[in-house]
Each structure stands twice: as structure tokens, then as C-alpha cells.
Amino acid sequence: MIDIGYLFAAMAFIFALKLMNSPLTAKKGNRVAMIGMAVALVVTLFAPSIKPQNFMWIGVGLAIGFVGGYFPAKRVQMTAIPQMVALLNGLGGGAVALVALFEFLEANHLGHTGASVQSVTTVLSAIIGSISFAGSMIAFGKLQEILPGRPIGFKGQQGFNLALVIFITALSLAMLAFGQTNVALFIALLGASLVLGLTAVMPIGGADMPVVISLLNSFTGCAAGLAGFVLNNNALLIGGGLVGASGFILTLQMCVAMNRSLGNVLFSGMGSIVASTGDPTKPQKQPKSYSPEDVAILLSNANSVVIVPGYGMAVAQAQHQAKELAGKLMAMGVDVKYAVHPVAGRMPGHMNVLLAEADVPYEQLYELEQINPLFPETDVVLVVGANDVVNPAARYDKTSPIYGMPILDVDKARTVIVSKRSMNPGFAGVENELFLNDNTVMVFGNAKTTIAKISTALDQY
Amino acid sequence: MNDLATLIPIITIFILAIFVGLEVIAKVPQTLHTPLMSATNAIHGVILVGGLLILGKAEGIGMIVLGLAAVIFGTLNVVGGFVVTDRMLEMFKTKKRGGGK
């Protein structure tokens, strides 16, 4: 009976993923997955191995998890969704590691010590779960800006990581060969995996965090699937296997969208530390700084305006002001378009979500391939808090960490207005020469207040 | 302790699940990358099933604490994951309506 429930859940998961391939059916897909999950959880409660006296604890755990998960997820700002996903993924990884630890201790207690498929998968799910947990926490810290978004590392970090991988492998083999009763060894294995999670993600720049989270998501799925071997449980096997595989495909697709290889994303971090120190031979130019009023004049004289939103707009929640400004310009007969870069913000699709929230008509959103040919005929581009996705260095500077990433060619427009908090480099930690171009003017300050001021100033014209 | 007869079906299921996972994700539009990641994130919360099973059989305070932590983590993953995905997809609905205006 329980396995029938699991079969239903597995079918629901597969069907849900299928539905998630199209924006039209995606919401239904998520609901289907929810139903599948609910069925899997409910039938599990009927498992004969559950002791009646432990139901109280199960109730407590579910209640805490539900309250702790539901309300923050309901309230979290749309801009903070990426770090929320990272955090939740980490918790999932942590849960896998805890299940593995439990099973290890129990097998020990029962005297099952020989190497078996169960002991191998226990060790593997513990390792992968721990890496996912620690790595996700670092990704969360970076996106939440508790940790600096720039790559952090030390000399020989990659060597250190390699050594750690070898150490973990050796430890696992040793454990499987003869040390299975050794709890300290298992704890050491968990510890080393946690450290590897930390040191592997630390040197990766914040801009690449979506890819990292997606990969760790796939890891957690794999680990959960392996835990299915340990517990001999079909729901875990199928759910975990599905996510492990589909998460990996998704990761690769994200890399393709950024025109990077997965290896490049994971291991180029140390390189960008060197590159981001900048080129000292170039003379330091000062950017032109305009007031919001000056910007309003520029805009009112334009025939066509393209708005390029970025993370700064998301942070400042300036999408409503941007839409208001666009509305005024359109009322003045200006042609207004929005250019959405696939990886603008912190997650692919981030900008679409925000602009949709502000009720920006879908027809005004242009994707990279559609808008780039139009820039040379555009009078004014208004960049709102975007940086790396408009950095011309991506086109030619081979030393730049963002080299090769498709960018919005805003520098080809007649005038570029950049609304930004400061001259600080973007998330990838790279200077942006666009800001120093002759046809670029900067307007400093919080995006929301700046856009609102421009909008007010525009009323005079 | 797992003899081959019980092992083969498990391995079969796992490998088939991986193949389905590889196939089910076709070329996804970029706007759906984040929601899809979030949804798969919620689905691997199925580890909560494992959490429930271990907490159910736990004996002694140490093991109960371990199991409880696993259940809490797993529930957070499931509930938070689905709610966040749902909210993200809610935005797409708004967009369609906005586009129709």
C-alpha cells in the first residue's frame, strides 16, 4: 500500500517536471508536485517501522518545520528568492547528511559492519549531503551579502581542495574496508565534506551563484536518491534520482545561457581575483555625473528609450517607479522598451518576475537577441542598477572573468544613462569601462529615489 | 546484508529515475530556470520521507534529536520550497494578465 502511494508520488513528480517546461503550465506543475509530496509523506506515516510513541516527536518536527518554512517563504521579498532557494537547498542537504549519520550509528549499534551496498551509499550520501549543506550556506551568505560576493580564496586553494577530495576518498575507502565501527572516522568524514563544501564555493564569484545553487540542488537530489538505497525506499530513490538528473541538465542549460562551461564557472574564481585588480596602465578617467533633472531633460528629448533593469533595481524595488517613468515617457510619445538580459539580477528570469510584478506589458519586454540590433538606433538607454550584463569588456577582454558572456550592447546607443548607487564594481567584481565612456552619464543614488526624482522632474516637460 | 535479489530492483528504479530526469527537462525557456530550480529543490525535500522513517524508529534521546533535526530540515525544505516556487509562478500569471491589457 505504501509503495503504491510512492508510485503515485513518483508519477506526480515526473508529470510536474514535464509541466514545468512551459510557462503556461508551470503553476499547475508545482501544484501536482505538492500533491505527490503530500501523498508520499502521508503514506510514510503508515510504515510499520514507526513506533507509536514517536508520533509525538514526528508531530513536533513537522510543526516546527512547517511554521519555520511557510511564513518566511510567504513573506520573503522577491529579490531575496535566490538566497532563499540556496538556504532551503542547504537544509535539504543537511537532512540527507543527518539521515545518513543516523543510519550509520544504527547499523553500528546493530553490529552490521561489513561493507555492503548500504554502507557505501550511507557514506556517499553523507559526503554529498554535507557538501551541499555547507556550499549552499556559503551561497546563501554571498547572496544575502553577509559574505562578500567577490571570489574569496587563498593561494593554493585549488590544491587544497584537491587534497581534501583525496583525503575524503581515502577516508571513505578506509572506512569501508575496516573502520566501519569507528564513529570518530565517520564524523571526520562529515567534517571534511563540510570543509570541502565551504572551500569549493568560497572562491566562486557571486554572479555565478545561480549556477552553483543549481548544481548543489542536483547534488542534494543525488544524495537523497542514495539515501533511498540506505533506507530501501522507492520515494527517495525516484524523487532523488529525478532531481539529481534534471537539476544537472538545468545547471548545464544555465551555463549555456551565460556562454560558459561548468568547469569555467567552478574553477575560474581564482583567476578573476587577479583580473579584478584592474589595469593600472590605463589612465583613470572620471565618470560624468548628472542630476536627476538633467537626466529628465535627456529623456524628454529622446524619441526612443530602452530601459535595462538589473539587480540594483531589484534591491531598491524600483520596478514600479521605472514603470511609472516609462508611462510618462510613452504619454509624451517616446517609444519605450525594456531589455531583459537572461542573467540580469541574481537568477535567470529574475527581471521578468519583477517587471511582471509591476504590470509591465509583456510586449515591451525584449530579450537579448531581439534588442541588441536595435541599440544603434536608440536615443537613450537607461540602465537601472545593471552592471556586468552591460560591460563591453565581455566582448573583447580575454582576461575578464565575464569574457564571452553575451551582453546587452548598450554602449552602441547614442546616450547611456546609468543609475547606480556608486562606482563600485558589480557582482562579478569587475570594473566597467562603460561608465567612463564619452556617451555615458552616471546618476548616483538608490535606484528607487533616483527614478522617482527623474519622473517628477519629467512632469515639467 | 542486501542480497542481490533485493538489490537489482532498487538499482533499476534509481537508474530509470535518472534517465527520466534527464529526459523530462527539455529546452526550458530562461524565464523558467529559476522556478524550475526551485521546484526541483522542493522535490528533493522528499528526503523528509527518510527523516520520518528514522525518527519513527529512533530510540534514545540522541537518536531522537538526530531524527528530529532531519525532520525539521526536511519539512523546511519541502514547505519553503513549494511556497517559494508557487509565489514565483504567481508572478507569471500576473504577467499574462498584464500583457492582455
Express each pLDDT in B46-74 by its tens digit: 999 999 999 999 998 999 999 999 999 99
- Pairwise CA distance, residues B51 & B47, whole Å: 6
| Beta carbons within 8 Å of A383's beta carbon, 6+ residues apart | A308, A310, A390, A410, A416, A417, A418, A419, A420
- Known catalytic residue at A388: yes
Closest CB to A241 among B18, B53, B66: B18
Chain B touched by A76 (CB under 8 Å): yes
- Pairwise CA distance, residues A238 & A253, whole Å: 22
What confidence score (pLDDT) does residue B95 get?
A: 44
The neighbour count for residue A326, using CB atoms within 10 Å, is 23
Closest CB to A362 among B19, B38, B95: B95
- Choose from A32, A137, A214, A237 for mutation: most chain B CBs within 10 A: A237
CB A189 within 8 A of CB A182: no
Q: pTM for this one?
A: 0.76
Grid coordinates representing A208? 555565478
Helix axes B61-100, A26-44, angle to 10 degrees: 160
Whether B2 has a pLDDT exceeding 60, the answer reads no
Closest CB to A231 among B31, B42, B50: B50
Question: Under DSSP, is residue A66 helix (H, G, I), strand (E, B) or coil?
Answer: helix
Grid coordinates representing B26? 527539455
What confidence score (pLDDT) does residue B28 get?
A: 76
The neighbour count for residue B4, using CB atoms within 10 Å, is 8
Tens digit of pLDDT at every position of chain A (461 positions):
788 999 999 999 999 999 988 878 888 999 999 999 999 999 999 999 999 999 999 999 999 999 999 999 998 887 788 889 999 999 999 999 999 999 999 888 887 666 677 888 899 999 999 999 999 999 999 888 888 777 777 777 778 888 999 999 998 888 877 666 778 888 999 999 999 999 999 888 777 788 899 999 999 999 999 999 999 899 999 999 999 999 999 898 888 777 677 887 787 654 444 333 444 444 456 778 888 888 888 888 888 899 999 888 887 888 888 888 888 888 888 889 999 887 777 677 778 778 887 888 878 888 888 888 888 888 899 998 888 888 888 888 777 767 777 888 888 888 888 888 877 666 666 778 888 888 888 888 888 888 888 888 888 77
Q: Tell me which chain B residue has its CA closest to the CA of residue A117.
A: B2
| Beta carbons within 8 Å of A44's beta carbon, 6+ residues apart | A2, A5, A235, B49, B52, B53
* Banded model confidence at residue B31, pLDDT cuts 50, 70, 90: confident
Closest C-alpha among B68, B85, B74, B5 to residue A232: B5
Distance from CA of B99 to the nearest CA of A (A): 5
Q: Judged by CB atoms within 8 Å, which residues 428-447 of A form the interface with B?
A: none
Grid coordinates representing A421? 548607487
Interchain pair A236, B50: CB under 8 A: yes
Closest C-alpha among A137, A127, A131 to residue A86: A137
- Pairwise CA distance, residues A241 & A6, whole Å: 14
Grid coordinates representing B55? 525518527
The neighbour count for residue A304, using CB atoms within 10 Å, is 17
Distance of CA A175 to the CA centre of its chain: 35
Chain B residues lying within 8 Å of A214, measured CB to CB? 33, 37
Chain B touched by A165 (CB under 8 Å): no
Chain B residues lying within 8 Å of A350, measured CB to CB? 34
Closest CB to B66 among A27, A82, A98: A98
- Pairwise CA distance, residues A365 & A342, whole Å: 12
Chain B residues lying within 8 Å of A348, measured CB to CB? 30-31, 33-34
Q: How far is CA A283 from CA A123, A286, A388, A435, B52, in A?
A: 56, 10, 21, 14, 63
Question: Which amino acid is located at A382 in the chain?
Answer: L
Enumerate domains of chain A plus CATH numbers: 76-267 (no CATH), 292-458 (3.40.50.1220)
The three-state (H, E, C) secondary structure of A168-179, written as one string: HHHHHHHHHHCC
- Order of all β-strands in the sheet with A380-384: A365-367, A335-340, A304-309, A380-384, A415-420, A440-444
On whether ipTM exceeds 0.85, the answer is: yes
What confidence score (pLDDT) does residue A114 get?
A: 66
> Cell 590605463 sits at which residue?
A282
Whether B100 has a pLDDT exceeding 60, the answer reads no
Closest C-alpha among A58, A17, A26, A18 to residue A41: A58
Distance from CA of A425 to the nearest CA of B (A): 25
Express each pLDDT in A249-285 by its tens digit: 989 888 877 767 788 778 765 444 433 344 444 445 6
Grid coordinates representing B89? 509562478
